[in-house]
C-alpha cells in the first residue's frame, strides 16, 4: 500500500491478491482497534469527495492509462 498527499487530498494505491475484496477488508478492519483509531484520526483531515455517501471517504477510481515496458 502507498498513500500520497497533495494539499487536502490523499491518494492510495493498493497491490492485492486476485481474491481481494473491499467487503472482506472492511469486515476485518471493523474488529481491529488500531484501524478504528487510525480512521478516527484521519477523519479530522480527510474530506469526502463530491458524490460520496455519508461516512464514505474512499472511492474506487478508474485507471485511464498505464505505461508498460515494451
Res 33: pLDDT: 93
Q: Tell me which residue range forms the domain holding 30.
A: 2-42
Q: What are the cell numbers at 13?
A: 494505491
> 29: part of which helix (H) or strand (E)?
helix 22-30
Q: Is residue 35 part of a domain?
A: yes
> If you average pLDDT over every residue of the chain, what do you get?
83
Q: Is residue 59 part of a domain?
A: no
Q: Can you tell me the mean pLDDT for 44-51? A: 79
Q: Is residue 34 part of a domain?
A: yes
Q: Is residue 10 part of a domain?
A: yes
Q: Is residue 24 part of a domain?
A: yes
Res 49: pLDDT: 78
C-beta separation of 46 from 59 below 8 A? no
Main-chain dihedrals φ then ψ at residue 42, nearest 5 degrees: -65, -30
Rama region for 4: left / alpha / beta (φ>0; ψ in -120 to 50; rest):
beta
Q: How confident is the model at residue 37 (pLDDT cuts 50, 70, 90)?
A: very high
C-beta separation of 49 from 59 below 8 A? yes
Domain count, the chain: 1
Q: Can you tell me the mean pLDDT for 6-26? A: 84
Q: Is residue 69 part of a domain?
A: no
Amino acid at each position: 500500500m502507498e498513500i500520497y498527499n497533495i494539499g487536502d487530498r490523499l491518494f492510495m494505491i493498493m497491490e492485492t491478491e486476485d481474491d481481494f475484496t473491499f467487503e472482506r477488508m472492511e469486515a476485518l478492519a471493523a474488529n481491529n482497534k488500531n484501524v478504528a483509531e487510525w480512521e478516527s484520526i484521519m477523519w479530522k483531515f480527510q474530506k469526502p469527495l463530491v458524490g460520496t455517501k455519508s461516512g464514505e471517504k474512499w472511492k474506487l477510481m478508474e485507471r485511464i492509462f498505464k505505461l508498460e515496458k515494451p
